[in-house]
């Protein structure tokens, strides 16, 4: 399902080729179980009608389940029959999706996102500092995760829980939860994040709204590389990233200011060649570094690599010619975090490095 400003779209076949539009506004929706002809939907108009509703897909009829002011998300943990709704003044819990109670720990806290993965429950709130909380006992006890503020969450059983930090945070960018140490580990810094999701295999994707080159549009983060998938998108303002379980393919959905688009990542002509990569050694750099281009289709092509600083400005342009290995000198660049950006075949590859 994809919720948009005017209604929701529901996949009606397992291949993702057929969609059905339902003309009502909902901020989030889930199916309570396999084969159900009803949805649990959240209405958020900022008034007395805000709350949780059941919606029959066949008849188009609604039934009120409960009223909660300004709900933000609904999450189901089907293996344990647990449902959660985050709203303006707390977090609500249900074992059947019908009867709801408040989670006392989050009373008066605005809960904006939540993920459950391998026994780790993480809730993001609008608390003024250290705004994420972790439970490792099924939601009974909660602990603050210190150090980084997170406003968006995504998770997958293959890879863990990810979070993006707001622009004003000292660790703004993409982070991954280290549940053992009760901390967020920063994977790479960036600003103007607007969306976070994973594909079917658990690889995180990030999106920017009003981004500046090279950080704009939608990109996959794997290893230490960003691989951009902006070709084919008429608009690079990203609002939402999702990945439905489509049989026989790895798919990513990207919702922009101009509509929703899908990308096949593991089948067809758009499949990414995972052998392609850009690398720099040593990293961190003191004076010089070796940059290697490992791309099957670069031979005989004049290429160049852009060097960006952490503010998204080009500070150097490396002319590689037809070479696949280049010795690069930092020159007068000050210490800090930088990015190599290489574009080929309408794809953009990045590599983060540090100058000491």
Residues 6 or more apart from 99 whose CB is under 8 A from it?
none
DSSP 212: B
Same domain? 153 vs 236:
yes
Residue 282 lies in a domain: yes
Same domain? 30 vs 111:
yes
Same domain? 260 vs 321:
no
DSSP 273: -
First to last CA, the chain: 47
342 versus 218: the higher-pLDDT residue is: 218
For position 67, what pLDDT does the model report?
Answer: 92
Same domain? 96 vs 36:
yes
Same domain? 126 vs 253:
yes
**Helix H or strand E segment including 145:** strand 143-145
Residue 269 lies in a domain: no
* CA–CA gap between residue 225 and residue 219 (Å, rounded): 10
CATH number, position 289: 2.60.40.3080
* CA–CA gap between residue 62 and residue 89 (Å, rounded): 24
For position 301, what pLDDT does the model report?
Answer: 53
Same domain? 308 vs 230:
no
Same domain? 239 vs 281:
no
Same domain? 238 vs 312:
no
Distances (CA, A) of 66 to 25, 39, 343: 17, 14, 51
Residue 298 lies in a domain: yes
* CA–CA gap between residue 167 and residue 156 (Å, rounded): 25
Same domain? 159 vs 305:
no
Residue 189 lies in a domain: yes
Residue ending a domain, among 202, 231, 264, is: 264
Residue 272 lies in a domain: no
HSE-CB at 184 with a 13 A cutoff on CA atoms is 33
Task: With CA atoms as reference, report the closest residue to 133 among 97, 173, 98, 161.
Answer: 161
The stretch 115-131 carries a mean pLDDT of: 90
The stretch 200-219 carries a mean pLDDT of: 87
Look up the pTM and report it. Answer: 0.73
Same domain? 165 vs 103:
yes
Number of structural domains (the chain) is 2
Confidence band (pLDDT; 50, 70, 90) for 300?
very low
Residue ending a domain, among 264, 293, 316, is: 264
The stretch 18-31 carries a mean pLDDT of: 86
Same domain? 199 vs 307:
no
Task: With CA atoms as reference, report the closest residue to 122 among 137, 131, 107, 133.
Answer: 133
Residue ending a domain, among 216, 233, 264, is: 264
Q: Exposure of 300 by Cβ count < 10 A (0-12 exposed, 13-18 middle, 19+ buried)?
A: exposed
Identify the domain containing residue 201 by its residue range: 2-264
Contact 291, 305 (CB under 8 A): yes
Structure tokens at 53: 């509703």
Same domain? 92 vs 175:
yes
Residue 313 lies in a domain: yes
Q: Phi then psi for 8, rounded to 5 degrees? A: -130, 150
HSE-CB at 113 with a 13 A cutoff on CA atoms is 19
Residue 299 lies in a domain: yes
């Amino acid at each position: 399902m994809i919720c948009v400003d005017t209604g929701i779209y529901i996949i009606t076949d397992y291949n993702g080729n057929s969609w059905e539009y339902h003309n009502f506004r909902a901020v989030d929706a889930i199916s309570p179980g396999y084969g159900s002809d009803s949805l649990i939907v959240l209405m958020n108009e900022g008034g007395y009608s805000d709350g949780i509703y059941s919606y029959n897909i066949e008849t188009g009829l609604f039934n009120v389940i409960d009223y909660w002011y300004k709900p933000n998300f609904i999450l189901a943990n089907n293996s344990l029959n647990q449902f959660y709704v985050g709203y303006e003044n707390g977090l609500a819990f249900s074992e059947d999706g019908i009867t709801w109670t408040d989670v006392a720990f989050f009373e008066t806290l605005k809960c904006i996102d939540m993920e459950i993965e391998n026994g780790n429950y993480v809730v993001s709130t609008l608390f003024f500092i250290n705004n994420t909380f972790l439970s490792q006992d099924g939601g009974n006890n909660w602990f603050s995760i210190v150090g980084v503020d997170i406003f968006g969450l995504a998770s997958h059983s293959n890879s863990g829980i990810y979070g993006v930090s707001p622009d004003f945070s000292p660790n703004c960018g993409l982070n991954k939860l280290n549940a053992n140490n009760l901390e967020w580990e920063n994977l790479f810094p960036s600003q103007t994040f607007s969306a976070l999701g994973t594909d079917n295999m658990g690889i995180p994707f990030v999106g920017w709204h009003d981004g500046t080159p090279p950080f704009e549009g939608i990109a996959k983060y794997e290893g230490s590389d960003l691989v951009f998938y902006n070709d084919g998108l008429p608009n690079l303002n990203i609002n939402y990233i999702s990945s439905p379980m489509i049989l026989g393919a790895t798919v990513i959905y990207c919702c922009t200011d101009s509509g929703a688009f899908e990308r096949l990542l593991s089948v067809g002509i758009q499949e990414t060649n995972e052998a392609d990569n850009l690398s720099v050694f040593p990293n961190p750099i003191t004076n010089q570094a070796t940059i290697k281009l490992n791309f099957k289709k670069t031979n005989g092509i004049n290429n160049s690599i852009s060097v960006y600083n952490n503010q998204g400005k080009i500070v150097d342009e490396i002319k590689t010619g037809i070479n696949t290995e280049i010795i690069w000198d930092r020159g007068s660049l000050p210490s800090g975090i930088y990015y190599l950006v290489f574009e080929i075949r309408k794809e953009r590859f990045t590599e983060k490095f540090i100058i000491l």
